[in-house]
Structure 1
Amino acid sequence: MSAQATPFKPLIGFTAGTQGDHGVAFLLRLAIWLAGGRTTRLKRTPDERDGVMPDGLLFGGGLDIDPARYAGDEAFESQIDHRRDDLEWSWMDWADSARVPALGICRGLQMLNVHAGGDLHQTLDPDIIAAWPTTALEYLVFRKPIRIERGSHLEAATGATTLDVNSLHLQAVRNPAPGFSVVARERASDGIQGIEADEPALRMGVQYHPEMLLHQPTSRSLFRYFVDRCRGNGAD
């Protein structure tokens, strides 16, 4: 009886905020591990990296993207991490040339869109924001309904056409980048909650935080779908 081959565990390079987001980084690592992958936190550009290159990229949440990158209003008050913008931009350039899959979460979705030529709403309708929770406990249980397009990667990944998600954000996709499709919208406002593209490789972005919903099968299956795509990118 021959021994079974060890399943290939793709290496997922990920980013997270640099201002104490250790909990989020842990959850991203856990999500990828549960999905059958390995992780490496990206702290240097592709040119500076030593060793094996990732089989996929995951861009997490964080501060606003510099509006200069999408011809936004640079006078608009924002919290910007220029170093992270530069780091993620360089990795997206690499991913495009290497045809490596990428998943964006919240700010990460916005980075996928901006890098490919789309833009953002720099602020949302005040009436929408006014209805959001104001305490940590309220944030943990806050949910909003979204609808998902049939036939999309997001539907295939979650097995759902509707979800209740923990989407709290002050900025959002305005115009999707060329080649990207809108695959999820908020029911109440029709705001964009998911985008994706197939070229130059799989690009998936969600405006909510599935890494904070790992108790839900739909969130775990989203990461598993992505890791499986990255496994195809690196397997023999």
Structure 2
Amino acid sequence: MTQHTNAYGQPVGAPLPDWQPRSWPSYETFNGQYCRLEPLSAERHGRDLYAAYALAIDGGDWTYMFAEPFTSEAEYLAYARKIEQGKDPMHFAVIDLRSQRAVGTLALMRIDTAHGVVEVGHVAFSPLLKQTSMATEAHYLLMRYAIEQLGYRRYEWKCDSCNLPSRKAALRLGFQFEGLFRQAIVYKGRSRDTCWFSIIDGEWPPLKQAFERWLAAENFNAEGTQRMKLEALR
């Protein structure tokens, strides 16, 4: 690693003489091979999303979310109306290209244009979306938008330290674990230690290549089972 020093001989970070604040993300539609991301709309997506979430055997998918399980369609629609078109977080619905139905959501949040930092969060994937090519592609599409199109330097993932599936998902997607923030949040009447992960812009080119190789049709057999794991392609 190159060592940079200032006029006083003190070590300093790498210079960024041409740095400019990045643009705020916009509500766009992102098209993939297996799914499409659309700005969340309670009217267009709400009923499909409630039906997809209702397929879960219990409310465990919401344990580490700030929202609680929804007991009725009306309750979920009210929630979706509250969060749609928000400035931060910005929620997107994941649309299954085969059924053309919304099967989950995720969001860009904690948007910091001055420093080029953004977090992906509020990841609410239904049983129709979990552990599918759509789930990986949804993350890839939003990641590519933030890092490649908007030029953000840092793409973050944070989760409750108790949420082992989320921690494993972050590592599978190529995020680097950075540490544990103890007693960072109080939610749902309990304390949360938060795990921090990130991808930085210099890591994006090989990650992008791995995503595209994994998502390629030839990486799946006739039953849709992957031939190579994403981790093996990095």
More helix by share: 1
More strand by share: 2
| TM-score above 0.5, yes or no | no
TM-score, normalization by structure 2: 0.30
TM-score, normalization by structure 1: 0.30
